[in-house]
Structure 1
Amino acid sequence: MRLHRLTVTAFGPFGTTQEIDFDALSSAGLFLLHGPTGAGKTSVLDAVCYGLYGAVPGARQSPGTSLRSDHAPADLPTEVGLELTVGGRRLEITRSPAQPRPKKKGSGFTTEKAQSRLREYDPIDGWRPLSRSHQEIGEEITQLIGMSREQFCQVVLLPQGDFARFLRADAEARGRLLGRLFDTHRFAAVEDRLAELRRSAETRVRAGDERVLAAAQRIAQAAGPAARESPLPDLQPGEPGLAESVLGWAATARSGARERLDIAACLLAMAEGRQSAARQALDSERELAALQQRYEETRRRAAALEAGRPDRDRHHERLARARKADLVAPALDLREAAERAYRTACRARDRARAVLPGTLTDAGAEQLAELERRLRQELGGLDAAQRAERRSARIDTERAGLERQARADDELIREADAWLADWESTRDGLRAGIEAAQEAATRAEQLAGRLEPARARLDAARRRDSLAAQVSAAAERLATAREHAAAAHESWLELRERRLRDIAAELAAELVDGEDCKVCGSPDHPRPARAADGHVDKAAEDRALDTHRRAEEARTRADRELGVVREQHTAARAAARSAVPQPRDGAGADPTGTGPEADPTVAELGALVDRLTSMHAEAHRTATGMHAAREALAAAEREQAERLDGRQTAERRAAARTSLREGLDREQAALEAELKNARGDFGSVAEHAALLERRVALLAEAAEAVRAEETAAQRRKEADDRLADAAFRAGFDTPQAAAEALLDDAAQRELQRLSDAWQSEAAAVADRLAETETRAAAVRPQAAVEAAQTAYDTAERSLRDASVALSAARERCAELGRLSRGAADEARRLGPLREEYDRVARLAGLTAGTSADNERKMRLESYVLAARLEQVAAAATARLQRMSSGRYTLVHSDARSGGRRAGLGLHVVDAWTGRERDTATLSGGETFFASLALALGLADVVTDEAGGVRLDTLFIDEGFGSLDDQTLDEVLDVLDSLRERDRSVGIVSHVGDLRRRIPAQLEVVKERQGSAVRHRTEGEVSG
């Protein structure tokens, strides 16, 4: 990677644009970057880092800090441009941080977002853009360079102070630095992962132990008395042999439970024998009691049977007569049906005859039918007349509709004529409204163009008045600061002169008997000077000097503040005096009465703004009615066309109605002649036809009723004959007797049931009276059932208790077996977990350096870093030997010291003594070139680690002031050797001797308006 050109604008201490030509500086191979303290030497390196990575090194990127220069004008944006070659590609990176900028409209500032641009140079097409994305540019640069920002700052911008601390640091501090550079966090992640796996495995093992103990507790609960005889041992999770102890104790508990199961089985067999004997005795007594009760019950049933014999005979006789009457039942039903039909027909005949004329009251069915046929023929002749009458009614309806249409069309024509008469004036009024709205829109646009500048002048006038007070206050503060600075300067000069007058007494205070005087060199001090009254010592002079400097700084700040406030006041005054553009018609002219050279007051500008605002609002309100006016004109034009068309249509409809009305009049006259004959004495043909239809219907109904009555009378006579014949054949004297003997099915079934029940009961009683066992039991003593039941209950309780005890013992044995199998399963699952824990714990202890197998107590990350440190020490030794004339060699040490872990020790071998000692024993100068050699060696190793990216430009920051001339020459020779294969090295230092030794220089000059850079080469100076 080679840097070509760096351009910084308003960055850090640089208030303007500064350009650094690294190609010119690098042509000599070695160049010097120098300048006074605080000028901005480190800011050049910060700009290089910011251009590459979009951030500056270390704490300078802390929150709340700004990269923008305080010396830069408000309108000059902060920007860093870096041109470099990396990976065979020439690139240009331009970055701007987030920064405030003046608003484009109005006063104040707004925040501009950070921006980045990346371009690449093509020999044919020139510069072509690649990306404007922060993320894409960052990924591209990091991939090309092969280093992160931290690695770049440690390798390319060599911070000597960090490596001096690195030489004296302990293993932990070295580990943190090397870990950042070589990215060994993955090995630390391995340590953490193994530690996590160990904790996880330990958790699983402990959980397995707890599950085994929980199973043991459940076994103890299930074992009951066996657990009390052999209690569970007091075990804790994690104890060795826990699973074996639990399984052995569970086997003992299962053995005790099986013994109790055998005892419970024996007790149950004995209880079953006693219960069986008591059961047999109880059954014998119950059987005897049942036989005795059966005999008594049979005797009671026989007596009740004899008492019910008369009722049984009556039921039997009644059932026989009912079954005979069932033969007459169909004839009875037929007679009743015929009687009901005859009565219904008589009532219908009477109703039909009641509505007929008196002459037809006794008419027969044939006479009524003949009269009905004559009326139907007359009704048929009226059908055509009815159709003609309906058509005449429709003609009347049509003529009424024509009259309504005629009235509506006449009204429409009158309205259209009245509206069209005012059409011209209406159209002119609407067009005038549109023109007025258009003029108002033009006027509103002109007023809006004048309103914004007027408001800007008003704001500027307010800022002008506010800043005028600030200018006065700043001028007063500057005058006060100048007075204080002059007084402090005079006080310091006075104290300095007084101290110089009495400097002999101050030197005399340092004299020691027997030691040479610093002035005369004599060891004798016969008459040392004495301090006079009011002597001023160096501390008082320094305090006065500090007071003078602070007062001078305060004066400078006050002067700068006054200049800033005056510039702001001048700008606000100029903005307030700017002229407001006038409209072409002169409306809203500037009321301030001031020209561009006068200062208008805030009240005058406020009145102007209010007037313009009012005029603009009025014009805007008028202009907003343009759309409505245009819509109204379009609607009026549409209505005018619609009214013209409607009037023409109405006129055409009137002509058509005239011819239609004449045709209807002719048709209705012909129909009236036809209807006159058909109506007769009735009001209409329909009325005549309706009367005939009612008469036909009455005659037809009466004829049908007469015929139905005659038919029903014949059927009733036939039913009477059949009923008399059926009653005689069934053995009844009259049909009335047969009807009285009838019973329904339910009554007959009930009589049959009662008869059958008495017969069944008689048979059952006879069978029971014939039983020999029942008669024998009746003569025996009364059965003792209660005593036998009490004995049986006692035996049953004993059996139930024994059975429950046996079931409990069996369940306990089964539960103990199941729980023991579960405990055995948990123990088997615990075995692999313990093996995994032991393996992971050994690995975790080994990588963490806590295992006994790790003799040096070296962590895995420290082991990897130790290998890297060994490479760095070897690379640094190649340059350290040259810087120290072959005296010193850096070696890596993995020995333990002070009980700490080993791995990252760094020693120096002194060839003059042949002994190895700690790097903390080096002197200041030795520490510098040792740290420089270490930094250069680390740069080589990190470069190789990053993929071998060539670094053609390096920077070394400070530390050269601690070297003597000879060592400085040797160090410069080593740095000069870095120029091999076109490599350049920049030294950042303010050591004056380096300016004489290094011709190519970049000087950073501190000025009032901000720092600036100057290029110096042999014999010439360029700005």
Structure 2
Amino acid sequence: MRLHRLTITAFGPFADTQEVDFDALCAGGIFLLHGATGAGKTSVLDAVCYALYDAVPGARQIKGGATKDASLRSDHADASTYTEVCLELTVGGRRLEITRSPAQTRPKKRGTGVTVEKARSGLREHDPAGGDWRALSRSHQEIGEEIGQLLGMSREQFCQVVLLPQGDFARFLRADAEARGRLLGRLFDTRRFAAVEERLAELRRGAEQGVREGDQRLLDIGQRIAGAARGGIEQPLPARQPGDPGLAPAVLEWAAVARSTAHEHRDIAESALAAAESRQAAARRLLDDARELARLQERFAEGRRRADALEARRPEYEAARTRLERARKADRVAPALTLRDDAERAHRTAAAGLDRARSLLPAELTDTGADHLSALERKMLEELGRVDAARGAERRSAEISRERAELDRQARADEELLADAAGWLTGWEAARRAHQERVETSQEAVTRAEQLAGQLEPARAQLEAARARDALDARAAASQRLLNTARERANDAKETWLDLRERRLRGIAAELAARLVAGEPCAVCGSADHPAPARAGAGQVDQASEDAAFAASRRAEAAVTEAERDHASVREEYAAARSAAGGSTVAELVALTERLGREHTAAHRLAAGTHAAREALARAEREREDRLTAQRSAENRVAARTSRREALDHEQTGLESDLVRARGDAATVAEHAARLTKRARLLAEAAHAVRDFDATAQRLKDADGRLADAAFRAGFETPREAAAALLSGPEQRGLTHRMDDWQAEAATVADRLAEQDARDAAQAPPARLDTALMSYEGAETALRAASSALTGARERGGELARLSRRAEEEVRRLGPLRTEYARVARLAALTAGTSTDNDRKMRLESYVLAARLEQVAEAATARLLHMSSGRYTLVHSDARSGGGKRSGLGLHVVDSWTGSERDTATLSGGETFFVSLALALGLADVVTDEAGGARLDTLFIDEGFGSLDDQTLDEVLDVLDSLRERDRSVGIVSHVADLRRRIPTQLEVTKSRRGSTVSLRTGGADG
């Protein structure tokens, strides 16, 4: 990686755009970056790191997104100047340009206030063939991945091997193994080895957990075996804990004893069950014999009871048989009885109909025969035919009457319409003039409303401006007072800070002396001896007091800036409001606005009726036309109606003479026809009723003769006697069933009493069923108890056998787990440095880092020998530290003058610097190779040269100058005055109140 050009704008202490030409600086191999304290030397390196990684080195990184971005921006820069860093470099054979801008605020282009600009990044590549630049990406993520792949190292590695912060390496030389391990772990990325350690530890914990869970399951099975044995074993379950190697054999042995004891209990239960079954079978036979004897005795006794009951029911049987025989004879007379009943019902119905028909006839026709009634009916029908012809004339006369009534109604309506139209048309001219005047008034109001609207809006705007002018006048006076107060406070705070700073500088020696520690080198002179440290005087000012005063001064200046901004904003608003308001007062403008508003409202109200007035005029004109048309139509209808009325009168006069003859004594022809129709219907019904009565009387007489003959042939004295003997079908079937039941019961009882075994049992003594039942129940209870005991013994044995098999399976499954746990635990302890086989208590990651540290020591020794004139050599040590601490990352220096080897923490201040410089250069070579071998052509060394004497400084510069053999350039960041004489190529950073600037000097000439 070679740097070519760096452009910085509004970054850190640099307010304006500053450009650093690294090609000119690196031409001599070594260049010096110097300037006063706080000028911004380190900010140049921060800008390089920010351009590459979008972040500054970790020691100066501020947590929190917005705070971090704000910390990059220069406090001296103008608000409209954007913070930007642009770096041009060659890496991986490609010439690239990286541009970065953090998130920042800027004034709004319109209005007041500020807006936030998002962070931006850009990557371009130079095309050697075409000579122009080609854009590659504007994505933060893509640019970060591209640069990371080309450099092959992280930001932490870059800051460690390119910027070479000497203070960090001085602490590295004095640090213990743990601190060195943390630094080397970040540089060489040994997280995978730490991950191996953690993975083995996890596997060990998992295997141990698996073994413990398996032992717990084995113990649970043993407890279940104890529960299944239920006191059958006198020896208790062995007391073991999970993880005990003897747990499995003890549980298996105890399970075998439980199984054998269960087998013995099962054999005893089987013998007891066989004896109980024999006793139960004998009791069962005795119970069955007693039950059979009791059954036969009861059967014979029941037969005797049923025979007695049957004999008692014999009279009932005989009566039913006699009744059934008479009913079957009466069945032969039933058809004649049915025929006679039907004839009697028909005759009664005909007689009732005849009575109803005669009651509707006149008295002189009540005894008239059917033929005479039919003749009268035909005479009525002939007269009805003559009357029907006159019905049409009657209907036409009624239609004429209705039509004349409708003509009269229309005549009255037309008369009213003509009177209304004449009255309305009389006042038409006056109404038309009123509508026309209303339309003209509304149109004039429209014009007036438009004129007033044009005057009202400017008046309102002027009123608002006047009000704002008066309010802003008071605000301007208040902001001026606040600004004066803020300026006074800022001047007081700055004077206080300058006074404290001057007092602290006068007593800075005492402050530095307070930090001295006996035996440790001085940060100023590098000596470990402190013979006469300075003492603090009265009123000594420490750094915290100065920093607090400086912060208060900065806050006061910020408050002045804010007050000036607010005051300027108020003054601008006041000037704009004053210009818009003119010279009128608020009261005058309020009166003007209200007057214009009232006039505009009135004009607008009148103007709103323009459309309605025009519509009203149009409607009135349309109504006039409609009324004229209706008047002419009504006059035409009156003339036509007179002719029609005369024709109707003539037609109705002719119809009335015929209708008088057709109506007779009735009011209408229809009424006369209804009377004739009713009389004809009554005569027809009476004739039909007389004929039905005569026919049913003859039918009843014939049915009586046939019934008497049928009853005599069936053997009955009278038809009434036959009717009394009749039974319905269900009644006859009921008698038949009762007789069949009696006969079946008689046969069953005879068979029962004829059984020989029942007759013999009846002669024997009564059966003793209770005694046999008690004996059987006792034997049955004993059998169930024996069977339950055997079932329990078998289940217990089966459960113990199943649990024993589970215990054996668990023991077999635990075997490989125990083996795996032993192997993994040994590996985990070995890599963690806790195993007895690891004599030096060295972790796996420490072992890998020790190899890297050994490479770093070898690379650093090559330069350290030159810097120390062959005296010192760096060696790696894996000896264990005191206090039981782990080993592997020890670093010793060998002094060839004395032949002794000692820890690097014992080096003096000057020795610590050039040893740490050699270590940093060696580490840069090793890390570069480890990160992928990316070539690093530019290195920076930050401070520490003030602790070297002239000879050592020459030797160190010779070593740095030798780096040019590998085409490298080294930038030294220091304010040591002697280096300015020794190194001709310089980049000077100068600070001022308006921000820092950079200038290039080569060979004493300014650039």
Please classify the TM superposition score into its range, dividing by the shorter chain length. 0.7 to 0.9
Task: Provide the C-alpha distance between the structure 1 equivalents of 2:562 and 2:489, rounded to a whole number of angstroms.
Answer: 13
Q: Does 1:321 align with 2:326?
A: yes
Aligned counterparts, 1:4-153, within 5 A: 4-60=4-60, 61-63=62-64, 66-67=70-71, 71-72=75-76, 75-76=79-80, 79-85=83-89, 86-87=91-92, 88-99=94-105, 101=106, 110=114, 112-120=116-124, 133-153=139-159
Identify the residue that residue 501 of structure 1 maps to in structure 2.
Answer: none
Indicate conservation of the 8 Å contact 2:472/2:570, yes or no: no
Q: Counterpart amino acid of 2:311? A: E
Alignment gaps of 5+ in structure 2:
509-533
Q: Does 1:253 align with 2:258?
A: yes
Indicate conservation of the 8 Å contact 2:472/2:574, yes or no: no
Task: Provide the C-alpha distance between the structure 2 equivalents of 1:403 and 1:751, rounded to a whole number of angstroms.
Answer: 95
Indicate conservation of the 8 Å contact 1:171/1:904, yes or no: yes
Aligned counterparts, 1:251-290, within 5 A: 251-290=256-295
Give how far 1:915 is off.
5.2
Identify the residue that residue 731 of structure 1 maps to in structure 2.
Answer: 715
Q: 1:683–1:538: structure 2 CA closer, same or farther, 3 Å change rule? A: farther
Indicate conservation of the 8 Å contact 1:953/1:984, yes or no: yes
Task: Provide the C-alpha distance between the structure 2 equivalents of 1:89 and 1:378, rounded to a whole number of angstroms.
Answer: 135
Identify the residue that residue 886 of structure 2 maps to in structure 1.
Answer: 901
Alignment counterpart, residue 932 of structure 1, candidates 917, 925, 928: 917
Tell me which moved more, 770-779 or 392-401: 392-401
Local SS of the residue matching 2:537: helix
Aligned counterparts, 1:696-735, within 5 A: 720=704, 723-735=707-719
Q: 1:720–1:949: structure 2 CA closer, same or farther, 3 Å change rule? A: farther
Alignment counterpart, residue 941 of structure 1, candidates 926, 932, 942: 926
Q: Does 1:972 align with 2:957?
A: yes
Indicate conservation of the 8 Å contact 1:51/1:82, yes or no: yes
Give how far 1:798 is off.
1.0
How many residues are matched? 956
Local SS of the residue matching 1:157: coil
Task: Provide the C-alpha distance between the structure 2 equivalents of 1:614 and 1:322, rounded to a whole number of angstroms.
Answer: 130
Indicate conservation of the 8 Å contact 1:12/1:68, yes or no: yes
Tell me which moved more, 792-801 or 38-47: 38-47
Q: Counterpart amino acid of 1:956? A: I
Tell me which moved more, 131-140 or 211-220: 131-140
Give how far 1:633 is off.
7.4
Q: 1:243–1:648: structure 2 CA closer, same or farther, 3 Å change rule? A: farther
Alignment counterpart, residue 220 of structure 2, candidates 201, 214, 218: 214
Identify the residue that residue 847 of structure 1 maps to in structure 2.
Answer: 831
Task: Provide the C-alpha distance between the structure 2 equivalents of 1:200 and 1:386, rounded to a whole number of angstroms.
Answer: 122
Alignment counterpart, residue 589 of structure 1, candidates 559, 579, 582: 582
Give how far 1:267 is off.
0.6
Aligned counterparts, 1:575-724, within 5 A: 575=572, 578-580=575-577, 588-591=581-584, 720=704, 723-724=707-708
After superposition, give the CA deviation of every residue in 1:752-807 in whole Å (9 maximum; x if it has no partner): 33323332333233223323333333333332222222222221211111111112
Give how far 1:200 is off.
2.6
Task: Provide the C-alpha distance between the structure 2 equivalents of 1:188 and 1:131, rounded to a whole number of angstroms.
Answer: 36
Identify the residue that residue 513 of structure 2 maps to in structure 1.
Answer: none
Indicate conservation of the 8 Å contact 1:372/1:700, yes or no: no
Q: Counterpart amino acid of 1:928? A: F
Alignment counterpart, residue 231 of structure 2, candidates 225, 246, 267: 225
Task: Provide the C-alpha distance between the structure 1 equivalents of 2:182 and 2:295, rounded to a whole number of angstroms.
Answer: 106
Task: Provide the C-alpha distance between the structure 1 equivalents of 2:243 and 2:296, rounded to a whole number of angstroms.
Answer: 77
Indicate conservation of the 8 Å contact 1:463/1:569, yes or no: no
Tell me which moved more, 425-434 or 834-843: 425-434
Give how far 1:858 is off.
3.3
Task: Provide the C-alpha distance between the structure 2 equivalents of 1:450 and 1:589, rounded to a whole number of angstroms.
Answer: 10
Aligned counterparts, 1:813-824, within 5 A: 813-824=797-808
Give how far 1:235 is off.
2.4
Give how far 1:655 is off.
8.9
Local SS of the residue matching 1:422: helix
Q: 1:875–1:966: structure 2 CA closer, same or farther, 3 Å change rule? A: same
Indicate conservation of the 8 Å contact 1:464/1:572, yes or no: no
Alignment gaps of 5+ in structure 1:
497-536, 593-606
Q: Counterpart amino acid of 1:884? A: S
Identify the residue that residue 507 of structure 1 maps to in structure 2.
Answer: none
Give how far 1:2 is off.
3.9
Q: Does 1:866 align with 2:866?
A: no
Q: Does 1:794 align with 2:778?
A: yes
Alignment counterpart, residue 772 of structure 1, candidates 736, 747, 756: 756
Identify the residue that residue 525 of structure 2 maps to in structure 1.
Answer: none
Identify the residue that residue 172 of structure 2 maps to in structure 1.
Answer: 166
Q: Does 1:806 align with 2:790?
A: yes
Tell me which moved more, 475-484 or 126-135: 475-484
Indicate conservation of the 8 Å contact 2:88/2:97, yes or no: yes
Q: Does 1:205 align with 2:189?
A: no
Q: Counterpart amino acid of 1:31? A: F
Identify the residue that residue 154 of structure 1 maps to in structure 2.
Answer: 160
Indicate conservation of the 8 Å contact 2:465/2:578, yes or no: no
Indicate conservation of the 8 Å contact 1:5/1:21, yes or no: yes
Task: Provide the C-alpha distance between the structure 1 equivalents of 2:979 and 2:32, rounded to a whole number of angstroms.
Answer: 8
Give how far 1:816 is off.
2.3
Indicate conservation of the 8 Å contact 1:379/1:692, yes or no: no
After superposition, give the CA deviation of every residue in 1:462-490 in whole Å (9 maximum; x if it has no partner): 26424415524753784798699899999
Task: Provide the C-alpha distance between the structure 2 equivalents of 1:765 and 1:550, rounded to a whole number of angstroms.
Answer: 134
Q: 1:555–1:171: structure 2 CA closer, same or farther, 3 Å change rule? A: closer
Alignment counterpart, residue 986 of structure 1, candidates 946, 971, 974: 971
Task: Provide the C-alpha distance between the structure 2 equivalents of 1:796 and 1:726, rounded to a whole number of angstroms.
Answer: 78
Indicate conservation of the 8 Å contact 1:369/1:703, yes or no: no
Task: Provide the C-alpha distance between the structure 2 equivalents of 1:936 and 1:10, rounded to a whole number of angstroms.
Answer: 33
Tell me which moved more, 232-241 or 331-340: 331-340
Identify the residue that residue 499 of structure 1 maps to in structure 2.
Answer: none
Task: Provide the C-alpha distance between the structure 2 equivalents of 1:641 and 1:159, rounded to a whole number of angstroms.
Answer: 100
Q: Counterpart amino acid of 2:203? A: L
Q: 1:53–1:834: structure 2 CA closer, same or farther, 3 Å change rule? A: same
What is the TM-score with the length of structure 1 in the denominator?
0.78
Q: 1:332–1:441: structure 2 CA closer, same or farther, 3 Å change rule? A: farther
Task: Provide the C-alpha distance between the structure 2 equivalents of 1:834 and 1:621, rounded to a whole number of angstroms.
Answer: 105
Tell me which moved more, 688-697 or 889-898: 688-697
Local SS of the residue matching 1:866: helix
Give how far 1:980 is off.
5.3
After superposition, give the CA deviation of every residue in 1:641-685 in whole Å (9 maximum; x if it has no partner): 899889989999999999999999999978986997799659999
Identify the residue that residue 192 of structure 1 maps to in structure 2.
Answer: 198
Indicate conservation of the 8 Å contact 2:346/2:696, yes or no: yes
Indicate conservation of the 8 Å contact 2:35/2:975, yes or no: yes
Give how far 1:14 is off.
3.6
Q: 1:274–1:551: structure 2 CA closer, same or farther, 3 Å change rule? A: closer
Q: Counterpart amino acid of 1:243? A: A
Q: 1:273–1:567: structure 2 CA closer, same or farther, 3 Å change rule? A: closer
Give how far 1:461 is off.
4.8
Q: Counterpart amino acid of 2:179? A: A
Q: Counterpart amino acid of 1:210? A: Q
Identify the residue that residue 596 of structure 1 maps to in structure 2.
Answer: none
Identify the residue that residue 526 of structure 1 maps to in structure 2.
Answer: none
Give how far 1:974 is off.
2.9
Identify the residue that residue 540 of structure 2 maps to in structure 1.
Answer: 543
Q: Counterpart amino acid of 1:961? A: G
After superposition, give the CA deviation of every residue in 1:472-530 in whole Å (9 maximum; x if it has no partner): 4753784798699899999999x99xxxxxxxxxxxxxxxxxxxxxxxxxxxxxxxxxx
Local SS of the residue matching 1:580: helix
Task: Provide the C-alpha distance between the structure 2 equivalents of 1:630 and 1:127, rounded to a whole number of angstroms.
Answer: 71
Indicate conservation of the 8 Å contact 1:458/1:576, yes or no: no
Local SS of the residue matching 1:906: strand
- RMSD across aligned C-alpha pairs, in angstroms? 5.3
Give how far 1:1015 is off.
3.3
Identify the residue that residue 568 of structure 2 maps to in structure 1.
Answer: 571
Aligned counterparts, 1:283-362, within 5 A: 283-344=288-349, 347=352
After superposition, give the CA deviation of every residue in 1:910-962 in whole Å (9 maximum; x if it has no partner): 44455544332333223222222322333333334443333343322111112
Indicate conservation of the 8 Å contact 1:485/1:551, yes or no: no
Indicate conservation of the 8 Å contact 1:368/1:702, yes or no: no
